[in-house]
């Protein structure tokens, strides 16, 4: 199977290249060779490459910056998937798109099912919701995988920010009133390939590691696992204090609760999801 991946330098883009099953050929494009917001280029590159499947790992992911870069966020997160869906429909290519828990408002008291109504609170969430809607309208047989709190060993993400701060500071305040689930980018890539192997899979799937955490819980786990893995050199213990969203205002409003119900993914992919803490331990130890 020939698979074209967009956004090859991002966290997911990198893991899609690492986790690709042996029988696949991956053609990976960065923004420099395939700008998903450029409709003509999308059609030209897909027509030339003739892949069996496109996986869209390209996105505008600067959640707070999106509040002041509305047009750019929509061009990449809404127009981008629309361009891909139009090209895939015309050329008969299967499409897997990736979206976010930020399409929800976080007011629900239990995990969100894929069919729960979207009600984004931020520009980023709105742009991703528009992307999902475009795909549903243009290519209903496409797959959209929503994920959350993505990290990898490399790159700018919460885990690496925490490790840096924990090496520099004696005290940290971390949000304890936003609840979700950390997700290793490798888990997401593995789930995407497992769904790709199921010809009947279509529509929206939810994919995170297993379990539930606040950012505070996640930070404490990063500290403990980071220490155990020798990634925090400082002898003096770091005090991690739980704080609230009111203590730490950001330009973008985030959902207070965005745990995703993964049952549809588990059923259709056959994948067993591991608890986020176990995954974090393994990733920090390698």
Ligand X SMILES: NC(=O)c1ccc[n+]([C@@H]2O[C@H](COP(=O)([O-])OP(=O)(O)OC[C@H]3O[C@@H](n4cnc5c(N)ncnc54)[C@H](OP(=O)(O)O)[C@@H]3O)[C@@H](O)[C@H]2O)c1
Q: Which residues bind ligand X (CB under 6 A)?
A: 6-7, 9-13, 31, 34-37, 57-61, 76, 80, 98, 100-101, 128, 147-150, 155
Q: Which residues contact 162 (CB under 8 A, 6 or more apart)?
A: 172, 174, 218, 219, 222, 223, 226
Catalytic residue among 60, 124, 151, 257: 124
**Contact (CB, 8 A) for 17 and 3:** no
* Sign of the torsion angle spanned by Cα atoms 92, 94, 100, 106: positive
In the complex with ligand X, the residue whose CB is nearer, 149 or 193, is 149
User: Using CA atoms, how far apart are residues 3 and 22, in angstroms rounded to an integer?
Assistant: 12
In angstroms, what is the minimal distance from the CB of 27 to ligand X?
14
37 HSE (CA, 13 A, CB side):
13
* Sign of the torsion angle spanned by Cα atoms 95, 98, 102, 108: positive
Residue 17 burial class via C-beta count within 10 angstroms: exposed 0-12, middle 13-18, buried 19 and up: middle
Report helix, strand or coil for 243: strand
The closest residue (CB) to ligand X is 10
What letter does residue 123 receive in the DSSP assignment?
H
In the complex with ligand X, the residue whose CB is nearer, 13 or 120, is 13
User: Using CA atoms, how far apart are residues 105 and 10, in angstroms rounded to an integer?
Assistant: 26
In angstroms, what is the minimal distance from the CB of 267 to ligand X?
22
| Residue 248 falls in the annotated catalytic set | no
User: Using CA atoms, how far apart are residues 213 and 176, in angstroms rounded to an integer?
Assistant: 9
In the complex with ligand X, the residue whose CB is nearer, 238 or 253, is 253
In the complex with ligand X, the residue whose CB is nearer, 186 or 226, is 186
User: Using CA atoms, how far apart are residues 135 and 53, in angstroms rounded to an integer?
Assistant: 15
In the complex with ligand X, the residue whose CB is nearer, 149 or 184, is 149
Annotated catalytic residues are 124
């Amino acid at each position: 199977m020939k698979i074209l991946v967009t956004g090859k330098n991002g966290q997911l883009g990198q893991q899609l290249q690492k986790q690709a099953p042996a029988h696949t050929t991956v053609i990976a494009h960065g923004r420099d060779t395939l700008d998903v917001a450029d409709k003509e280029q999308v059609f030209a590159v897909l027509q030339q490459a003739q892949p069996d499947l496109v996986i869209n790992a390209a996105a505008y992911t600067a959640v707070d910056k999106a509040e002041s870069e509305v047009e750019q966020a929509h061009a990449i997160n809404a127009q981008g998937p629309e361009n891909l869906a139009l090209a895939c429909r015309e050329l008969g290519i299967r499409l897997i798109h990736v979206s976010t828990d930020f399409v929800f408002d976080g007011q629900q008291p239990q995990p969100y099912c894929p069919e729960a109504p979207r009600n984004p609170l931020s520009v980023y969430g709105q742009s991703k919701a528009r992307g999902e809607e475009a795909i549903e309208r243009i290519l209903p047989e496409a797959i959209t995988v929503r994920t959350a709190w993505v990290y990898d060993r490399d790159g700018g993400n919460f885990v690496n920010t925490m490790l840096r701060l924990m090496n520099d500071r004696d005290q940290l305040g971390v949000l304890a009133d936003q609840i979700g689930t950390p997700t290793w980018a490798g888990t997401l890539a593995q789930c995407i390939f497992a769904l790709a192997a199921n010809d009947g899979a279509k529509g929206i799937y939810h994919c995170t590691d297993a379990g539930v955490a606040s950012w505070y819980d996640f930070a404490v786990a990063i500290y403990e696992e980071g220490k155990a893995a020798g990634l925090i050199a400082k002898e003096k213990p770091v005090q991690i204090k739980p704080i609230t969203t009111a203590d730490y205002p950001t330009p973008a409003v985030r959902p207070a609760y965005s745990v995703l119900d993964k049952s549809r993914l588990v059923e259709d992919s056959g994948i067993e999801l591991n608890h986020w803490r176990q995954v974090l331990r393994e990733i920090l130890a390698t």
